[in-house]
Amino acid sequence: MTSLTFSTPATSRLLPSAASTSSSSVKLSLSSSAHSFKPLRSSPLVSHLFLSQKRAPASRLLRNGSSSYSAVSAPKCFASDPEQLKNAREDIKEILKTNFCHPILVRLGWHDAGTYNKEIEEWPQRGGANGSLRYEVELKHAANAGLVNALKLLQPIKDKYSGVTYADLFQLASATAVEEAGGPKIPMKYGRVDVSGPEQCPEEGRLPDAGPPSPAAHLREVFYRMGLDDKEIVALSGAHTMGRSRPERSGWGKPETKYTKDGPGAPGGQSWTVQWLKFDNSYFKDIKERRDAELLVLPTDAVLFEDPSFKEYAEKYAANQDAFFKDYAEAHAKLSNLGAKFDPQEGFSIDEGSSQPQPEKFEAAKYSTGKRELSEAMKQKIRAEYEGLGGSPDKPLPTNYFLNIMIIIGVLAILTSLLGN
């Protein structure tokens, strides 16, 4: 179990992964499936923003010669079924209770979305949350070492709910892991379309390196490319409140500490916080104080209190957990949408009271000046109200004879009064 990380051959980090995700500790059995496993090479490289881990002797799920982790070919254009997503979320909660895999599931969602490049318009060339991380070619990227274990945990759920895309499943698992660990409710939307083949995977090298000469400049270079700002960089770094790093896999951390020697999950590694399966603001407090040598502090952790712009937010989050939760929830949701193509285009929520896209709010100032074209949503709203009164494009509103008679009587009464005077 190491950090939730984006990384490149030079190593990177952003979130911790869970101890229980090594192949030896995965409790879910896939024996009932027809998947076969092929060991993947391990990599000693580490990530900093998203500290990566070496691949455990895991395996590639193959079927009919496919290099995908899917038992069936991925749909080219597929909107996930809302009810199946809700049921999948409940199954993910059960996995979290038994496998303590919160950190690696967060990392899985982040790494699928974190390849986004805002300078590229075309999908899926722009990268982002598109389910491409299920293919072996991308799993072999140094940044994604060990994420095969997260795939092994989620594959039975994907098999059970075929109406859910991988892209949605990865982001659903990531948000659910944060929430179940005590973190904020993430305002997620779904309907992400999957890429259809490994040839659509992004090239290696889009994720952060570990230990760059200038940590602050490197973080900005990588995250600005994704369209994120300093506040979002610091808020997302706070997810390191969960997870731990193992030196034999990543090159970072101690073999074990008093906080990790007994697990849960496979024992060992070094965590950033004392309660490394609880999502709170203790990461910022511990990094700021640095009073406990048993806790891990990486260069890109330390820089959050050294760079003036980063420090403004790090200090705020150390002092105010509510402020951290608010900003983290917004940043996580934004990250989960990066580069995604949605079907329906506006996406949809699976939370009660917001399952349908909300109609556009009418703002008079928006339409009262200039030559701005009405949006389609507003046109539909006006049309619906017009038809509600009995009108249609081919039929004018019916004449209200009673109203006309009353108007005439009123006019005659006024004229009579004037003449009488």
CB 202 within 8 A of CB 186: no
In sequence order, the β-bridge partners of residue 47 are 12
The C-alpha atoms of residue 409 and residue 64 are separated, in whole angstroms, by 84
Each as own residue / partner, the long-range contacts of residues 324-329 (CB below 8 Å, 24 or more positions apart, any chain) are 324/235, 324/238, 324/281, 324/284, 325/183, 325/184, 325/281, 326/184, 327/231, 327/232, 327/235, 328/183, 328/184, 328/235, 328/236, 328/238, 328/239, 329/183, 329/184, 329/185, 329/186, 329/187
CA distance readout (Å), 353 to 348, 349, 357, 404, 414 = 11, 9, 10, 44, 53
The C-alpha atoms of residue 347 and residue 247 are separated, in whole angstroms, by 41
Please pick, among 48, 102, 111, 240, the residue that the annotation labels catalytic: 111
CB 1 within 8 A of CB 104: yes
- Paired tokens of 101: 């895999």
| Torsion angle of the four alpha carbons 59, 246, 97, 189, in this order, in degrees rounded to the nearest 10 | -80
**Tokens 């890429």 -> residue:** 195
The SS3 of residue 168 is: helix
Is 332 annotated in the active site? no
The C-alpha atoms of residue 327 and residue 145 are separated, in whole angstroms, by 29
Distance of CA 297 to the CA centre of its chain: 25
For the annotated catalytic residues, the residue numbers are: 111
